[in-house]
Structure 1
Amino acid sequence: MIEGTAQSYWMASSDPTSYPALTGSAEVDVAVVGGGIAGLSTAWELARAGRSPVVLEADRIAAGVTGFTTGRLSAAHPWIYKPLRDSLGPDTACLYARSQQEAVEHVERTARDLGVDCDLERRPSHIYVESPDRVDELKEEAEAVREAGLPASFVTDTDLPYPVAGALRVEHQVQFHPRRYLLALAEDLVRRGGRVHERTRVVDLTEGAGDRPHRLTTAGGAVVTAREVVIATLFPIVEHALMSFRLTPLRELVVAAPIDEDADPGAMYITRQENTRSVRTAPYGDGRRLLLITGESFAPGDGDLARHHRDLVAWAREHFKIGEIAYWWSAQDLDTADTVPYVGRISDRVHVATGFARSGMSHGVMSGRLLAGLITGNEPEWAHLYDPRRARPHREAGSVLGTGMTNMRRFVEDRVRSRAGTLDDIRPGTGAVIRHRGRHCAAYRDEEGEPHVVSARCTHLACLVAFNDVERVWECPCHGSRFGVDGTVLQGPATTSLEPVDP
């Protein structure tokens, strides 16, 4: 049994949006594909600089990955500063820290200037370990964070209700309601002359050469020509710079439960032990806080979601005094080959922002500032650090090779593995990949007994999808595309639906 309402708290506690879909053709200065934190931040920065950007969102803005985050905005990213310093030098680590902390300060300043009620709170952020044999390693990371210029310290005492062996504490970080913040950003963007179009899925990009504009085509047949294009979808919808080998998708769960205010641990906490545990709270009213716990990392299509949910709830109850689970949701993110996001120009006048590696809030805001700077000619000094065309073989080679081998193994094994069962074996409310009419098919039977059969080959790069039996969606384990039981695209990089097959 899955406890709690299957809904993101950020979605449940903010207003719905109803920006119009794009119809017909449009000529624009800058087209921003994707209405999450990176896309909206980029468009808002451009509008603030006097440009007239257009945001094209496949569904609703701030309702995809951004609507299912934890709202933790911090420059204290787990285990990145020492590896950066050791491999690329202390100056690079300092630039990374500066770009991230500036994003934190930028959100607080923007929320104040726009008068946004987004539950923004200044809190220290902690990276902790429970195993004593990891303490020395964490102390070295704390030293690297301090050297990078952040207000960091190593501590052994925290306000968590359970002991830790040590924690890296960074002051002056932020937790907030990300969706309320971004909806206010979108409203101000429109006031400044920008445009937002929802339910406008971009399915094709034809890049212009020289002075010719780029041409974007939507699922509804609308055509947009733009001098500059920003791809701020989770996984880029265009294939450049070997992105399919340099990005690895993962999913995590969030459970949320009310607690008394006096039980609030008073800060943000994260550990990569126990398959990741992230802890924070949010205002909940009536003398209560909402405890949000994130964890249970797994690959899309590969995880037993019900088991992961039970494990996360059991851990929450073991460590905190909670009653019923109020909400639960899952989120998807992408790891990069060298742990640094890919943000910047990927070809002539085409830009991307991707690979936020579970730190999407600060990375998304940073991306908006970086991409707007590139387009307006005010490139920040740390832009080269995130360049998606960078070549760092000493940091990337192992990860790129591993991702490529894993996906190739899936591709081959899925095609030679025997698929037992027939359509008659699919029970109501369940789905499976079967051999049907001589091909691999994704078959689902609804609660009324009606079968829904589509091709099992992901329309991105033809990996076979797998069924998520809790959320009842088809997921591609190679690159993270998600589809409804009828084959409809829910999340890219796929841009077209799974092909229907006659039952």
Structure 2
Amino acid sequence: MRDATMNPFLAMKSESYWLALPGKTSYPKLTSDLKVDVLVVGGGITGVTAALLIRDTGKTVALVEKYSIGGAETGHTTAHLTYMTDTRLSDLASDFDEEHALASWDAGAHAIDQIRKLVERHQIDCEFKLVPGYLAEAANTKDREEEQDKLRQEAELAARHGFDVAYLDSIPPLGRAGIRFANQAKFHPIKYLRALAVQAANTGVQIFENSSVDSFEEEPARAVIGDYSITYDHVIIATHMPLQGNVGTLSALLLQTKLYAYSTYALEATAPFGSLPEIIWSDTAEPFNYLRVDRNAEGDVIVYGGKDHKTGQEPDTEKCYNELTRDLMALVPDAKVNHRWSGQVIETLDGLPFIGEAGDGQFLATGFSGNGLTFGTLAAMMASDYASGKKNPWTELFDPHRKALTSAWDYAKENASYPYYMARDWAKGTEAGDVNALPCHAGKIIRHHGKRVAAYRNEDGEVTLLSPVCPHLGCIVHWNDAEQTWDCPCHGSRFSGDGKVMSGPAEKDLSEIEE
């Protein structure tokens, strides 16, 4: 008899580079009935992050995973952390408007910042690193002038709204025209997720592996898992393709008609040190190609992917791997392929994910396209707000029931009580700067010895280097030239040029940085 808890990914011919990591998780199987405030279904990045964030609000939380933590789609990603969506910015702006389109990028930037904060707070060793991201024109572009104009316009649109992006006539690694995105990121998703699960368990989240939900029941709301059940007030369905829950068969079927599953393929290869710059990259081909480059003591580690197709509609999937290998070897002839694997992405009709309430007490998250790790993290943040009854600025934008987004939606107003500027400022680049060039009575955020600092020179010419992070909730301060102060755009804290707190809600000075 087939073991229902056997992870089908383990039987695949190929092996994900990330899941080749030694060791494994060993959380117990559910063996008794439970009652919790919030049940999270799914042990990928959305589920584990949501469980931790919700537990941090004081609620009791249980997480059930059908197989093992990170063993499904999170373990079969290529682990790009970028706010650039699969659907082109110009297409989103055309289908919706500029405000809605850029709000989706803001959401991604906020998610990257959330990952950064969790890595720092819990000291997670997962190779997290900020790197430049690039979007290049496709090699087979028919009208290069038209495509370059489109890329240029997209870069100008994003830059006008505060994103640190620029159109360049030549970008690495192939010298094609494209857009550079500052401060994108990459990490090892399984190292991150396993460490995050440990933190969640340490805070009191009850995690159960090999525990598949058989059905949902009402009055009381509960999930049946084998011979046992978990009763809950809220359920977060974080299962890639969502379970039906208690929303009813018709509603579930209607949602399914709005989702499209695509298979995607990836290779991991090693190459001599410096074969490629350390970046994340994709192009405008259809389907598009994507690349990330890591660097370690042995040399470069390259993850190259693409050849997407609707799941089940490509009769020769081996051809996808062969074509990827051919393209990679043309790019890096000395590369040695070590791992290959396929994953699946879920697309929506309008290019934006479905994140939000699906029914009374039920929250779902799906349709992340190629932004699974960023939108998955964002979904966890929104789930935490939902379970706590807090307003979230992206609720309407990603509403699973949306039909059309109205022009009356005011993103700035939605963010009035939310740390909107935090993500925007972390997404901005910081120019390298020479403190010696800073005039008296001036302050500026610069990159100094590889670190972002708030530099200030007083009337006597003395320079003070400060952390630009507001000690209240972690926003990046701005220099107010008229008042000669560092001002926090999130909640209004103000600091003198040398970092002394002048007005709250911050209660501490900006931290001084030693030379």
Which interval holds the TM-score relative to the shorter structure? Answer: 0.7 to 0.9
SS at match of 2:281: strand
Which blocks of at least 5 consecutive residues in structure 2 are unaligned?
Answer: 1-11, 407-515
Alignment of 1:325-344 (within 5 A): 325-344=337-356
The change in CA–CA distance for 1:87 and 1:323 in structure 2 (over 3 A counts) is: closer
Map of 2:303 onto structure 1: 292
Give 1:17 shift. 0.5
Determine the structure 1 residue equivalent to 2:107.
Answer: 99
Residue identity in the other structure for 1:391: K
Cα distance in 2 for residues equivalent to 1:281 and 1:337: 31
Aligned to 1:84: 92
Amino acid at match of 2:337: I
In the alignment, the residues of structure 2 paired with residue 383 and residue 146 of structure 1 have an alpha-carbon distance, to the nearest angstrom, of 25
Q: CA deviation at 1:123?
A: 0.5
What's the offset of the Cα at 1:274? 5.5
SS of the residue 2:233 aligns to: strand
- 1:9 shift after superposition: 1.1
1:232 alignment counterpart: 238
Residue-by-residue CA offset, 1:266-291 (whole Å, 9 max, x unaligned) = 211112416321011224x4331210
Is contact 2:48–2:196 with CA below 8 Å preserved after alignment? yes
Out of 221, 224, 230, the residue aligned to residue 227 of structure 2 is: 221
Deviation digits for residues 391-448 of structure 1 (CA, Å, limit 9, x no counterpart):
1299xxxxxxxxxxxxxxxxxxxxxxxxxxxxxxxxxxxxxxxxxxxxxxxxxxxxxx
- 1:36, 1:66 within 8 Å by CA — same for their partners in 2? yes
Are 2:186 and 1:172 equivalent residues in the alignment?
no
1:14 Cα deviation from its structure 2 partner: 4.7
Deviations 1:349-378 (A, max 9, x none): 101000000110110110111111111122
2:337 aligns to what SS in structure 1?
A: coil
Q: TM-score, normalised by structure 1?
A: 0.73
CA distance in 2, matches of 1:148, 1:358: 23
- Structure 1 position 144 matched with structure 2 position 157: yes
State the percentage of identical aligned residues.
25
Aligned to 1:28: 36
Distance of 2:171 and 2:88 partners within structure 1: 22
Does the 8 Å contact 1:373/1:380 carry over to 2? yes
The answer for the alignment partner of 2:206 in structure 1 is 195
Q: Any residues of structure 2 matched to 1:296-375 within 5 Å, and which? A: 296-303=307-314, 304-375=316-387
Gapped regions of structure 1 (runs ≥ 5): 395-503
CA–CA separation in structure 2 for the residues paired with 1:53 and 1:179 = 22
CA gap 1:88/1:78 in 2 versus in 1, 3 angstroms: same
Partner of 1:264: 276
- 1:184–1:263 Cα change, 3 Å: same
Q: Contact conserved, 2:267 with 2:325, CA < 8 A, in 1?
A: yes
The structural deviation recorded for 1:258 is 0.2
Taking the aligned partners of 1:12 and 1:232, their CA distance within structure 2 comes to 24
Q: Is the 8 A contact 1:97 1:150 kept in 2?
A: no
Show the 5 A alignment for 1:105-116. Answer: 105-116=113-124
Whole-Å separation in 1 of the counterparts to 2:58 and 2:300: 40
Contact 2:87 2:351 in 1 (8 A): no
Instruction: Report how many aligned residue pairs link the two structures.
Output: 384
> Stretches of 4+ moved more than 6 A in 1?
none
1:22 deviates by 0.6
Map of 1:427 onto structure 2: none
Quote how far apart the aligned CAs of 1:254 are.
Answer: 0.4
In the TM superposition, residue 5 of structure 1 has moved relative to its aligned partner by 8.3
Q: TM-score, normalised by structure 2?
A: 0.71
Contact 1:98 1:149 in 2 (8 A): no
Residue 146 of structure 1: how far off its partner (Å): 2.3
Using the TM superposition, give the Cα deviation of residue 90 of structure 1 relative to its aligned residue in structure 2, in angstroms: 2.8
- Give the structure 1 partner of residue 464 of structure 2: none
Contact 2:271/2:336, CA 8 A, preserved across alignment: no
What is the deviation of 1:13? 2.0
Residues 86-122 of structure 1, C-alpha deviation per residue, up to 9 Å, x if partnerless? 3333332332222111111111121011111101111
Match of 2:52 among 32, 44, 59: 44
Which one-letter code corresponds to 2:155 in the other structure? A
> For residues 377 and 136 of structure 1, what CA distance do their matches in structure 2 show?
44
Larger Rg: 2
Contact 2:237/2:363 (8 A) holds in 1 = yes
Question: Quick check: 1:156 aligned with 2:163?
Answer: no
Cα separation, 1, equivalents of 2:26 and 2:403: 42
One-letter amino acid of the structure 1 residue matched with residue 232 of structure 2: A
Cα shift at 1:141: 2.1
Partner of 2:498: none
Letter in 2 for 1:271: D
Distance 2:347 2:171 in 1: 29
In 2, Cα distance between equivalents of 1:175 and 1:345 = 30
CA contact (8 A) 2:92 2:351 kept: no
